[in-house]
Amino acid sequence: MPDKPPAARRGRPLDLDARRRCLELAAGALQERGYAGLTMNELARQAGVSKKSLYTWWPNKAAIVVEALVAMAEMPPLPDLGNTEAELRALFAIIRRTASTSELPLAVTALNDPASRTAVSRTYIERLVGARRELSRALVQRGVDRGDLPAGTDIDTLLDMWNGLAAYRLLRGVALPDHVVDQLIVMALNGNVPLLP
């Protein structure tokens, strides 16, 4: 008997539909009213779900928030445009869009909620930042492979710098103008990027 149905489950099955509904409602509330503006009571009520279930599915509020953010952060793979400059431009579009949502402040707030200490481990952050990171890294790697970027480019540092710049500007409430983006791309294509040691 190669593989029996996973565990011969008994009783009422998990309501995966309701679970997803919660994440969507949470995502909406987070963007509209922020971290503190999302309350578990209301989330349960609106999702037609019991608080018991919420706390069965996630250990605490911070965990729901992080998972909702992870879901929001999902993005389609960046297509190979055959042109490194065009691809970098597409990458910056995503960086700016991400920074313009309040995703980062929300993540910081969730991760500094004392409740999260117990259960929301670093793995969540890995998933949150990491989700996009892999795709972004692949894009930059293509530039390196094409020879448009230096062979030893420190891709992670480069991406952290670009994302960090956008995020920091967001914190300051200042926009990231086009000409800055243009310049960063030109600099990169000219080989002015951090290199691996």
Partner DNA sequence: CTGTAACCGAGACGGTACGTCTTGTCTTCAG
Partner DNA sequence: CTGAAGACAAGACGTACCGTCTCGGTTACAG
Name which of 59, 70, 76 is nearest 30 in CA terms: 70
Nearer to a copy of itself, 18 or 164 (CB): 164
The gap from C-alpha 157 to its chain's centroid, in whole angstroms, comes to: 17
**Contact letters for a copy of itself, residues 91-130 (x by CB under 8 A):** -----------x-xxxxxx-xxxxx------x--x---x-
- Is residue 79 involved in binding a copy of itself (CB under 8 A)? no
Q: How far is the CB of 59 from a copy of itself (least distance, A)?
A: 16
Q: Which of 35, 57, 58, 92 is close enough to bind a copy of itself by CB under 8 A? A: 35
Phi-psi bin for 196: left (phi > 0), alpha (psi -120 to 50), beta?
beta
**Residue 103 Cβ, how far from DNA at the closest point, in Å?**
19
- How many Å apart are CA 166 and CA 160, to the nearest integer? 10
Query: Side-chain half-sphere of 103: how many Cα atoms within 13 Å?
Result: 23
Q: Checking phi first, is residue 156 left (phi over 0); if not, alpha (psi -120 to 50) or beta? A: alpha
SS3 state of residue 1: coil
Decide which of DNA, a copy of itself, none touches 108; Cβ closer than 5 to 8 Å per partner kind.
a copy of itself
Residues forming the site for a copy of itself (CB under 8 A): 33-37, 102, 104-109, 111-115, 122, 125, 129, 154, 157, 160-161, 163-169, 171-173, 179-180, 183-184, 187, 192, 194-195, 197
